[in-house]
Amino acid sequence: MEDVLNATLAGGVIIGSTSDMMTHPAIPIGVGFIGGAVSSYGFNKLDLGFHDTCGVNNLHGIPGILGGLISCIMPFIHKDSDSIGTIFSKMGETDELG
């Protein structure tokens, strides 16, 4: 039961930075599944040699890093992006000087 609860939280961690870029429901479900699977694998099989009493590395660390990598990839595969300004509004603004 603890693995299921931690996998649910890890799915939220991995999808958090790209939740506004998702257009099709299968993509966030798949990304959340990957986060939950990686977290469950980490809790059960991965031993990094240090004592992590609360599972911070497996619940927040590894899914957070994977979420950061996914947030670097998503702007390039976002279907509705005619320009970078549709995703990152401040980057799409032009300055007054030209």
98 residues of the chain, pLDDT tens digit each? 888 888 999 998 998 888 777 667 888 888 889 999 999 998 888 777 777 777 788 888 999 999 999 888 887 776 655 555 555 665 555 555 54
What pLDDT is attached to residue 69? 92
What pLDDT is attached to residue 86? 58
Spell out a b/e string for 15-48, using b for 16 or more CB atoms within 10 Å of the CB, else e: bebbeebeeeeebbeebbebbbebbbebbeeeee
What pLDDT is attached to residue 64? 92
What pLDDT is attached to residue 37? 93
